[in-house]
Amino acid sequence: MLVIDDQEPVLELARELLGRAGYQVETALGGREGLARCQADLAGLDAVVLDLAMPDLDGATVGRRLRGLRPDLPLLIVSGFGPDLAADTLSALEPVGFLSKPYGSEALASALAELLGRAQNAKEAPAIGR
């Protein structure tokens, strides 16, 4: 699991919360570092928790680039903006989940479990027309 955010306290909180939930967590400070880490170990990632608003390389751009590299990678978008403002980004990045900041441990773990479950179900679904 990789958490990408431009605020170190948010990264530390996410690492702690997800670690308690049993996930192995790496963090990246900002979009550029996050994208570089993803590219270095794309196959080893189960999901990315991605902040939408970052000054160096925003989450929408990082998400689109990740979709080009690995279309099935689950992305959990987190933002202080509501899902209505992020609707265009979210629809273009499936499989994707959304979580509003600030979030607590239950909300983060629940959103991630739901996203991973949907991604797993999509992999297991039979292809139509085959």
118 backbone dihedrals φ, ψ, rounded to 5°? -65, -40
Side-by-side strand order, sheet with 26-29: 26-29, 2-5, 48-51, 75-79, 96-100
How many angstroms separate the CA atoms of 18 and 46, rounded? Answer: 13
> Would you state the pLDDT for residue 91?
74
pTM flag (> 0.85): yes
Domain boundaries, the chain: 2-124
How many angstroms separate the CA atoms of 80 and 122, rounded? Answer: 28
Check if the beta carbon of residue 80 is closer than 8 Å to that of residue 100: yes
The domain 2-124 having CATH identifier 3.40.50.2300: the answer here is: yes
Check if the beta carbon of residue 3 is closer than 8 Å to that of residue 25: yes
> Would you state the pLDDT for residue 108?
92
State whether residue 93 is helix, strand or coil. coil
Closest CA to 73 of 98, 100, 52, 96: 96
Check if the beta carbon of residue 108 is closer than 8 Å to that of residue 18: yes
> Would you state the pLDDT for residue 125?
62
Averages of pLDDT over each 10 residues, the chain, 130 residues: 96 93 95 95 93 92 92 91 71 80 90 90 62
Q: Is 22 left (phi over 0), alpha (psi -120 to 50) or beta?
A: left
